[in-house]
Amino acid sequence: MGRYEESYAEFKRAIRLDPHNTYTYATFGFVCYLTRRYDEAIDHFKKSLELDPGIGQAYCGLGWAYTYKSMNDAAIEAVSKALELSPRASLFLGFLGEVHAAAGHQDEAQKILDRLQELSKTQYVSPHFVGRIYLTLGKKDEALTWLETAYRERAALMALLKTDPRFDELRPHPRFQDLMRRMNFP
């Protein structure tokens, strides 16, 4: 909902109460990512991984934050590690496609889109991930089509549509604004 300062205060409190909870740091990292505090996000993801180097979500978040710092090689390495930890996670595969697209590796991003399409024949692949890759490749119409599908399927990560920096360039687009309205975001 964009109530960042309240969220920020609650995470600070949670860390004071349980300074060794790796998931608190990882989740706080995502909040920092959503608030565009990328350096803080990186710090929280790294702290999470110090406590437990097996947290794929922290590697994934680290990759996203690195992408926004134009640290593309580090982003690819981090999300690749997330995928290595959970090789069947289409979520991490989708995000790997996104960071490759952000790095300008269009061929690799397209290969991952093809893999996601193949994977969707045997397991659920969120159209939200596919939309993110297309958007990062600069294909806004395709991205919006996939986000519409994600909306119809009630894809979980659509809840972050209002705040996720990945979608900043779509915010003025009438189709995106209509989607936000239908999702009842203020």
pLDDT in tens, 34-83: 999 999 999 999 999 999 999 999 999 999 999 999 999 999 999 999 99
* Residue 97 sits in the same domain as residue 176: yes
Indicate the pLDDT class of residue 184, thresholds 50, 70 and 90: very high
CA-CA distance, 28 to 7, in Å (whole number)?
A: 9
* Residue 25 sits in the same domain as residue 59: yes
Chosen domain end from 34, 51, 86: 86
pLDDT at 166 (0 to 100): 94
* Residue 103 sits in the same domain as residue 145: yes
Domain count, the chain: 2
Please give the residue range of the domain that contains residue 78: 1-86
Stated pTM of the model: 0.90
* Residue 99 sits in the same domain as residue 8: no
* Residue 4 sits in the same domain as residue 72: yes
Listed range (2-6, 8-12, 44-48) with the worst mean pLDDT: 2-6
Q: How many CB atoms lie within 10 A of CB 144?
A: 20
Instruction: Report the sign of the C-alpha dihedral through residues 100, 108, 110, 116, in that order.
Output: negative
Chosen domain end from 30, 61, 86: 86
pLDDT in tens, 69-122: 999 999 999 999 999 999 888 999 999 999 999 999 999 999 999 999 999 999
